[in-house]
Structures are given as C-alpha cells and as structure tokens.
C-alpha cells in the first residue's frame, strides 16, 4: 500500500521530492528525456503514478515513455501507467463525441455555445485531444439562453442540478451542472454571471465576437480566441490556488505551442477583466517550473510584477502536495486580496466572493430559499465552516 501523498505540513514535501522532480520534467513542453530517465531511477514508481494522477499529468508522463529506456520504469509500473492512460483516452474520446452531439442539439434550437478548456484546450496546447485528461465538458452560454439550454439538456437525458424553478426565480449558481448517471457524463454551462472569479464580469459578447473554430478529429468546435482562453485558464488556476500541476502545464503548453499568440491582445483581455496579476502569476509559474521561454517584452512585464513573484513563492509551498496541504482560511483570504491587487479593488473582489450566494447557499434538499438577504448572510458562515474544517476549495 502506497503511503498517502499528503505531508503533514506543506513544507514536508521531502517524502515525495524525487517523484515531484520527475513530474516537473515530464510536464515541461520540452522535457529533457535523459534527465527524466535519471530522475526516474530515484523515484518510487507507485507513488509517482499516484502523484501524477493527483496532479492530472498522467498523459504527460505516459507521453515521455516512448523516449525512455525500457528499464527506466519498472515493467509493472509502466503497464499501470499505460492502463491509466488508456482509460483516460477512452474517457476523452467519449466526451468529445458527446460534445458534438450536444453542440448539434444547441445549434438546432439557436443556442450559441463556445467550448472552453477540455478537448479544445488539449488540442491547442498539446495537439491531441486525448493528451490531457478531463472529466467534464465546459460550455460558455449566454444567460438568456440558459433556460432553453436546460430544457434541451434534460431532453437529452441529463439531470439538472439547477432546476427550472431556480432559473425562473433568478437564482445564479456557481455553474449550471448536468449529469447523466447511467454514463457518468458531466456538463457545465457557464456565463458572465456564474464565473464569479473573474475580477470583473467577462465581456461575453466580445468573447463570442472573437470566437474561432478549432478542429477536433473530423469536426470543428466553436471556441474562445486563444488569447481569451489563456486569460481564462489563468483565472481558473488562481481560483483553485494553483494546487495542481496540470493547470500550470496547460499554460506552459499553450503559450509554447501557439506561436502566433497575440500578446498585446492577451494583455488587453486580462486588463479588461482585472486579471493582470493572475495572468502574470500563471506565466511566472510556467517559466519558473516548466522552462517556458516568453517573448522578451512579456517576460520583462512578468518579472517586474513583484506581487506576482511573492504569490508564486506561496503557491510553491502547497503545490507539490496536489491539494492535500491547502492554505488555511486566513491565507486563502489574503491570497485572494493579493491576486486581485489594489487598495479598493482587492477588498471589493473578496467581499463579492464572500457575499455572492451560489446553489449551496440558496438550495437545500431541492428546496429554494426565497430570501436573498439570508442567502447573502448565510454564505460567509458556510464558507468559514467548510474551509475551516477541510481546507478544500
């Protein structure tokens, strides 16, 4: 039985330091296979695969196998890695097929949708929809279309976590989640109202206006402009305190592979939603950990952001443990403040997150609260109990 990955404290990462070094090399857009082979000889194979799975980089590790000597990884561990990668491939293929089935249904009733993260990100960042694992599908849909989209998803056999009665009552969840119990398929619909972790509301009409088509197998999917996708995944990483290596690997792979990325447009996209520091932190993590080379002008801007550098130091204290050693309640609040920046904007951002009720605040066993003030007041206490007890996001 492999010992738990989790150290007692974030500083105690020595128990899996060798395995962590392997993952950093494997997750780089340009891994040094010779160095990786040497690192593997000092790693515990079972612990390594468990850690890779926790960090979401099984695909990265498996992709490096072909360039390594046969004895670099024990036969049993190599087969286990291959098996897990095969299972991941099967899941991603099934999700991609489901994606196009849903997009066709949406188009048939005039509901516009953009694919975010998932298979589109996998193709853009890695050139392969199966290279990156994902367990659900994320679509950006205008709020005015949510009711029709919910009806459509229900007709397609999905169960809606947010009922039509809540939508009609004007309740706004963290996301509109749909599940298909018989197949374990999950779909999340997002928009400018649900994506609360954007410091300012995302300009959804501009996102739709800048959309592009990304080729997946024999189909094309509507997606965000690559610059908007970069900003979105940096905000997503910041939302989750950058606790998993996959989110950093995505940033590294995307900026490395997308050589025509318009950096000025990316900076403007980040500025429009107040996410400059989130973008800088994501890029700093990608360069410091995964050997990414940025254009000189962009590198200079990232390096000159002293606040982002301090945030990265804090992130590195909990990152290796893959969410098993999260920041405490107070540190979470401080992190949110520093990630937003500004004497007025930072407290405003934190207060908005604390006082914007989601389905966990206004829905209890299928019953909807009818008092918004109580929902608002209930939320900070619920968050304090949740994060004070478990520390999980």
Over residues 197-213, the pLDDT tens digits come to 999 999 999 999 999 99
How many helices (H) and strands (E) are present in the chain, helices listed first? 19, 9
Query: What's the pLDDT tens digit per position in 331-389?
Result: 988 999 998 887 778 898 888 888 888 888 888 766 788 777 888 888 888 888 777 65
Domains and CATH numbers, the chain: 14-88 (no CATH), 90-224 (3.30.460.40), 326-393 (no CATH)
pLDDT of 110: 95
Contact criterion met (CB below 8 Å) for 104 and 72:
no
Return the SS3 of 11. coil
Q: Cβ-count burial of 270 within 10 angstroms (0-12 exposed, 13-18 middle, 19+ buried)?
A: buried
Query: Any residues with CB less than 8 A from the CB of 325 and at least 6 apart, and which?
Result: 6, 7, 9, 10, 318
Q: Which residues pair with 140 in a beta bridge?
A: 114, 190
283 and 255 in contact (C-beta within 8 Å)? yes
What distance in Å separates the CA atoms of residue 275 and residue 255, rounded to the nearest whole number? Answer: 17
Q: What is the pTM of this model?
A: 0.91
- 130 within 8 A of 94, measured Cβ to Cβ: no
Taking all residues of the chain, what is their mean pLDDT, rounded to a whole number?
Answer: 89
Instruction: Measure the CA–CA gap between 279 and 242, rounded to whole angstroms.
Output: 12
Confidence (pLDDT) at 272: 96
Q: CA-to-CA distance for 334 and 379, rounded, in angstroms?
A: 18
- The DSSP H or E segment spanning 216 is strand 212-216
Separation of CA 330 from chain center = 23
Quick one: pLDDT at residue 8?
39
Dihedral of CA atoms 297, 300, 304, 308 in degrees, nearest 10, equals: 90
- For the beta carbon of residue 58, count every other beta carbon within 10 angstroms: 21
Q: Which residues of 213-230 are buried (b: 16+ CB within 10 A; e: fewer)?
A: ebebeeeebbbbbbbbbb
Which residue stretches of 188-244 are H helix? 204-209, 226-239
Task: State phi, psi for 134 to the nearest 5 degrees.
Answer: -155, 145
Residue 37, phi then psi, degrees to nearest 5: -60, -40
Helix pair angle (276-290, 226-239), 10° resolution: 90
Q: What is the pLDDT along the chain (393 residues), one digit of tens a residue?
A: 334 444 434 345 667 889 999 999 999 999 999 999 999 988 998 889 999 999 999 999 988 887 887 777 888 888 888 888 888 888 888 899 999 999 999 999 999 999 999 999 999 999 987 778 888 999 999 999 999 999 999 999 999 999 999 999 999 999 999 999 888 889 999 999 999 999 999 999 999 999 999 998 888 999 999 999 999 999 999 999 999 999 999 999 999 999 999 999 999 999 999 999 999 999 999 999 999 999 999 999 999 999 999 999 999 999 999 988 888 888 988 999 998 887 778 898 888 888 888 888 888 766 788 777 888 888 888 888 777 654 443
187: part of which helix (H) or strand (E)? strand 185-190
CB count, 10 Å around CB of 127? 10
């Amino acid at each position: 039985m492999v010992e738990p990955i989790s150290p007692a404290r974030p500083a105690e990462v020595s128990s899996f330091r060798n395995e962590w070094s392997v993952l950093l090399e494997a997750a780089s857009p340009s891994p040094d296979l010779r160095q990786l082979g040497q690192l593997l000889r000092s790693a515990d194979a079972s612990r390594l695969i468990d850690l890779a799975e926790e960090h979401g980089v099984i695909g990265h590790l498996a992709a490096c196998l072909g360039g390594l000597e046969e004895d670099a990884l024990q036969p049993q561990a190599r087969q286990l890695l291959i098996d897990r990668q095969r299972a991941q491939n099967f899941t991603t293929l099934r999700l991609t097929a489901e994606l196009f089935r849903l997009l066709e249904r949406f188009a048939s009733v005039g509901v516009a949708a953009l694919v975010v993260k998932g298979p589109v990100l996998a193709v853009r960042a890695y050139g392969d929809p199966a290279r990156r694992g994902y367990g659900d599908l994320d679509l950006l849909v205008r709020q005015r279309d949510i009711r029709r989209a919910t009806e459509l998803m229900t007709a397609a056999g999905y169960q809606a976590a947010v009922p039509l009665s809540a939508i009609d009552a004007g309740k706004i969840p963290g996301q509109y989640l749909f599940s298909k119990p018989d197949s374990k398929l999950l779909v999340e619909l997002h928009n400018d109202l649900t994506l609360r972790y954007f410091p300012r509301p995302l300009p959804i009409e501009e996102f739709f206006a800048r959309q592009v088509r990304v080729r997946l197998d024999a189909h094309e999917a509507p997606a965000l402009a690559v610059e908007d996708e970069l900003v979105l995944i940096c905000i997503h990483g910041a939302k989750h305190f950058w606790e998993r290596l996959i989110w950093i690997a995505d940033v590294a792979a995307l900026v490395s592979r997308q050589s025509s990325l318009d950096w000025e447009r990316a900076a403007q996209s980040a500025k429009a939603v107040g996410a400059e520091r989130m973008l800088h932190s994501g890029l700093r993590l990608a360069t410091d950990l995964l050997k990414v080379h940025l254009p000189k002008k962009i590198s200079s801007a990232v390096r000159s952001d002293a606040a982002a550098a301090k945030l990265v130091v804090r992130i590195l204290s909990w990152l290796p443990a893959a969410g098993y050693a999260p920041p405490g309640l107070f540190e979470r609040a401080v992190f949110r403040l520093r990630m937003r920046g500004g004497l007025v904007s930072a407290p405003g951002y934190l207060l908005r997150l604390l006082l914007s009720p989601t389905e966990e605040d206004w829905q209890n066993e299928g019953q909807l609260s009818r008092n918004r003030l109580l929902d608002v007041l209930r939320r900070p206490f619920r968050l304090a109990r949740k994060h004070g007890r478990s520390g999980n996001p």
